[in-house]
Amino acid sequence: MARHTVTLIPGDGIGPEIASAMRRVVDATGVDIAWEIADAGEHVMEEFGTPLPGHVIDSIRTNKVAIKGPITTPVGTGFRSVNVALRKELDLYTNLRPAFSIEGTGARYDDIDIVIVRENTEDLYAGIEFEQGSAEAAELIDWVAEKGAGVIRPDSGISLKPISVTGTRRIVKFAFDYAIANGRKKVTAVHKANILKHSDGLFRKVAYEVAEEYKDSGIEFEDYIVDATCMQLVLHPEWWDVLVLPNLYGDIVSDLAAGLIGGLGMAPGANIGAEHAVFEPVHGSAPKYAGKDMANPTALILSAVLMLNHLGEREAGDRVLAAVKGVLADGERVTYDIRRTRFGTTEGAVGTQAYADAVIERL
């Protein structure tokens, strides 16, 4: 029997190609993993009548660990995000997104070391929405007016932003526990509490309560407004350590952080709950590069490094990280995005699989 069984969701768009590159790299470490392939996304809808079939969730429930490529979400209309559904279904309440500099990416900074802890189950991502023109939207608009709570234009669509004490407590606790376990110095709670008093205001208040419980941990705590955070991240990335944010700001600030380290092709992530963990890059399915053997698999390979650490295979994780660093520092066998950022031209770029080969040769 294999030492570990891991659910592998290749996803769509560039997902299958980067998933195959990642899998080849992980297999080349010699760690004994049985991959249980589980397909999700639009391409399985015809067969199963849903983009997220029950057996995919069951596989993760059984194996407890999964790694996935990105899955496309139709914009505006169509089915809701499979990624969001997965996080909610398994209560993967933490989205952990470390952003650290690796030499050779051509990024503007070389000393980034930030960890984003994004709440993954509530906020504007709760999926509670009322379509413009619907009877429900009209009813809600009337109710708000009746309560004297405000005037909403009758032709509005509405999305709710719930933030709870429970949801906030556990994510801020996760941030502190992570900081302690990983030798970090500071946790910053990021919000817009000056405007959103009852959602972000609650997030800030509960964050301070949790910080009080950790006051003897030696971890410093502060809070910061999200817009100012974005500016200071660009001006002074060295100020920041562990950031804990509600869902939407966490998503946006993650992409900003990816920009600091050389782009979305470089940014790994993990969705973590009490019992299950699903590893996936920050980026999406980049449809315009799908099937072209061009996409950078580094973000997914680094997500696999997080997964190997989670599985207790730290030595293999360290070897993969060192191999990726070697290939990037060398700069000769890297994908188009890295060539462009580092050398200003995509000339000389190699494909997704050739990059994976270069990583494997250095393991």
| Residue numbers annotated as active site | 125, 192, 227, 251
Asked if residue 265 binds ligand NAI (CB under 6 A), the reply is: yes
CA 300 to chain centre: 11
Which of residues 188 and 341 has its CB atom nearest to ligand NAI in the complex?
341
Q: By CB under 6 A, how many residues form the interface with ligand NAI? A: 18
Residue 240's nearest CA partner among 279, 190, 300, 168 is: 190
> Binding to ligand NAI by residue 71, rule CB under 6 A?
yes
C-alpha–C-alpha distance, residues 65 and 48, integer Å = 23
CB 286 → ligand NAI: shortest distance, Å?
4
Which residue's entry shows tokens 């993967």? 92
Is 120 an interacting residue with respect to ligand NAI (CB under 6 A)? no
Part in contact with ligand NAI (CB under 6 A); list of ranges 116-124, 187-195, 235-243, 277-285: 277-285
CB 206 within 8 A of CB 168: yes
Of the pair 199, 247, the CB lying nearest ligand NAI is at: 247
Interior angle at CA 308, CA 182 and CA 82, nearest 5 = 95
Q: Lay out the site mask for ligand NAI across 201-240 (x = CB under 6 A, - = otherwise).
A: ----------------------------------------
Beta bridge partners of 35: 6
**Smallest gap from residue 233 Cβ to ligand NAI (A):** 19
Q: In whole angstroms, what is the distance from residue 171 CA to residue 175 CA? A: 6
What distances in angstroms separate CA 300 from CA 55, 283, 325, one per listed residue? 23, 9, 14
Give the residue carrying structure tokens 């809070």. 223
Q: In the complex with ligand NAI, which residue's Cβ is closer, 280 or 313?
A: 280
The CB-of-112 to ligand NAI minimum distance in angstroms stands at: 18
Which parts of 332-351 interact with ligand NAI (CB under 6 A)?
Answer: 337
Q: Between 76 and 105, how does the x/- string for binding to ligand NAI read (CB under 6 A)?
A: -------x----------------------
Is 285 a residue that touches ligand NAI (CB under 6 A)? yes
What is the number of other CB atoms lying within 10 angstroms of the CB of residue 310? 16
Task: Determine how β-strand 113-119 pairs with β-strand 242-245.
Answer: parallel
CA distance 142 to 152: 9
Which of 131, 257, 114 lies closest to 187, judged by CA?
114
All residues at 6 or more sequence positions from 151 whose CB lies less than 8 Å from its CB, including other chains? 144, 145
Q: Which of 16, 201, 284, 326 binds ligand NAI (CB under 6 A)?
A: 284
What SS3 class is residue 293? coil
If binding is defined by CB under 6 A, does position 7 make contact with ligand NAI?
A: no
CA 253 – CA 234 distance, rounded (Å): 11
- The verdict on 73 binding ligand NAI (CB under 6 A) reads yes
The single residue among 114, 286, 349, 350 that binds ligand NAI, judged by CB under 6 A, is 286
The answer to whether 29 contacts ligand NAI (rule: CB under 6 A) is: no
**264 is an interface residue for ligand NAI by CB under 6 A:** yes
Q: Which of 59, 72, 101, 247 binds ligand NAI (CB under 6 A)?
A: 72
Min CB(73)–ligand NAI separation in Å? 3
Element (H, E) at 233: helix 226-235
| Residues making contact with ligand NAI (CB under 6 A) | 14, 70-73, 83, 264-265, 280, 283-286, 288, 295-296, 299, 337
